[in-house]
Amino acid sequence: MGKVIGIDLGTTNSVVAYIDRGEPKIIINEEGGRVTPSVVGFSKSGERFVGDIAKRQMLINPDATIHSIKRFMGKRYKDAGNDLPLVNYKVSAGRNGDCQFDVNGRILSPQEASAMILQKLKKSAEDFLGETVSEAIITVPAHFNDPQRQATKDAGTIAGLNVLRIINEPTAAAMAYLHDRRKSATIAVYDFGGGTFDISIVHIDRELGEVRATRGNNALGGGDVDRVIMEWLIEQFRKEHGVDVANDKVVRQRLRDAAERAKIELSSALETEIQLPFLMADATGPRHLQCTLSRATFEAIAGPLLDATMEECRRALHDARMTVEQIDEVVLVGGSSRIPRVKELVREFFGRQLNQQFNPDEVVAIGAAVQAGVLEGEVKSVTLLDVTSLSLGIEIEGKRMAKLIPKNSCIPAQKLQLVSTVVDNQKTVKIHVLQGESGKADENTSLGEFELQGIEPAPRGVPRIEVKFVIDANGIVNVSARDSRSGVAQQLTIQAPTGMSRLEMERARDEAASYEKTAEHAGELKEVRFQIERQLTQIETLLRDQRDQLQRNDVQEADHALKRGRMALQKAQDRTNLEEVHGWLRRMLLALNEKVAGNGVH
């Protein structure tokens, strides 16, 4: 087995790590950074950008720049209302009502967009490690449901990765803590990321960790904090100029960018100046925005969001049947945990000094790498028992949900349920599987309807059908059924209402692989063109500085080389032809330098 990488596929930024001689290390990307913006952009010609360059184009081309993708993973459009105000690109309902993106007429699923980010992370890892990478551990928010986990795994498959395990982000952070500390403690992992919030209570006993409870909110993150600051800026502009710019996508993107920078600056300053010249123009001329945002005002407008995270902490302790006095340490995870008010609230709630030894942007990827190291055998075996964050059940009479595997059950988990027929000689039994906490069936996530056919005719209530529900180590649900009378068993595949079909997956994977080859070819072509441009510049410099030292025919050959090289750059797109010109120019340049040197010029 080759190197297994650990990936934190974040809403705002993504990080990839690996194990080197038993220790986790962050992989540096092509731009020299430790984090990669989770942003995908497209030019008008269809060229694709991922990471820093895509993030830079958000200000000028918001329609064609996809970000906050994680908020739409495995989600139906009708459930994405809280996520839509965070983005300026077009989100619509696709097949079966699942979310899809429309970029310059090109339709993309969230899985395909995430796969583009994973492809870049995969390439960065391969360039950094000098070997092919095909296997990965990918993290997800603890509160992700089954369709969201399946969508994340699908994204990895499209990107050409064999996803060995899907693990919860707080669990990954606890793995990093377990690897680093190896001591008995009960910790709270407060994970406030760019798009989601999780809190997990974890008990660690040297080499064994056990998640006691987990809570979360998949629609609460740093992006929401940016949104409320942006809305405050829109109101300030309206008060000053009497103009509402809320529906101008370019203006909104500039305001969101300014809001993010203001949030970061207020982590170290008590106030920040926000200056956006030429924010818009009308018949009266350009309009500018200049205002001061104090930390006190910021804390007031973001207060309800931050307080909501503390309510989740209370519920997590209640679910774990623990008190704050039983928590030994609090580990902060996610970039939004750097907000001073967040630290203050967490410190006050738990009554503990915060563990800030881990980089909140990197600790999840570090933990994923530790899990990868365990699978590879490079890390001394450490075990962390995770839990399911949502209950699993079935719909019963009265459109109610009967919970079979309650939330915070240790995973892998399974439950055997006996069902039967409700009418005489019934030949099929249909089971509607649900995930969530509401007693009403329609308020939970539907994982699909499962039907067992070919039941032997019998009076109602006589057949005994054993239906087994299993949540695997990835938190993904599987179902099987067995008729106890005949012994006939059947494996049932979840037909989730969201997600990609097998044919769509294969098509997306083939397209991703084809794009990777095309991009590699384009990169090689650009490199050859760059080398030709460099050689032409060197010949031009040599002629300018050393023309008097060359024979007339040498000057003519050099001029011919310049002309041929420029024509090749203008017309030729064939790599073989360009490489031929490149080689010819290299020989020409070498010969000219030798002749200049032979004339005693140094």
Asked if the bond preceding 412 is cis, omega within 30° of 0, the reply is: yes
Q: Are 155 and 111 in contact (CB under 8 A)?
A: yes
Active-site residue, from 70, 75, 122, 407: 70
> Burial, 218: exposed, middle or buried (Cβ in 10 Å; 0-12, 13-18, 19+)?
buried
In the Cβ-directed half-sphere of 330, how many Cα atoms lie within 13 Å? 23
Distance CA 477, CA 534 (A): 57
Distance CA 563, CA 580 (A): 15
Question: Which of 187, 184, 189, 155 shows the shortest CA–CA distance to 172?
Answer: 189
Has 191 been annotated as catalytic? yes
Which tokens sit at 585? 């120019």
Helix (H, G, I), strand (E, B) or coil at 577: helix
Widest distance between CA atoms in the chain: 109
Active-site residue, from 8, 198, 312, 554: 8
Has 376 been annotated as catalytic? no
Sign of CA dihedral 264, 268, 269, 275: negative
Distance CA 385, CA 203 (A): 10
H/E stretch holding 198 reads: strand 197-205
Has 260 been annotated as catalytic? no
Has 70 been annotated as catalytic? yes
Active-site residue, from 83, 135, 146, 191: 191
Distance CA 565, CA 531 (A): 11
DSSP 488: -
Q: Are 327 and 188 in contact (CB under 8 A)?
A: yes
H/E stretch holding 156 reads: helix 146-158
Question: Which of 5, 2, 9 shows the shortest CA–CA distance to 25?
Answer: 5
Active-site residue, from 83, 98, 154, 169: 169
Residues identified as active-site? 8, 70, 169, 191
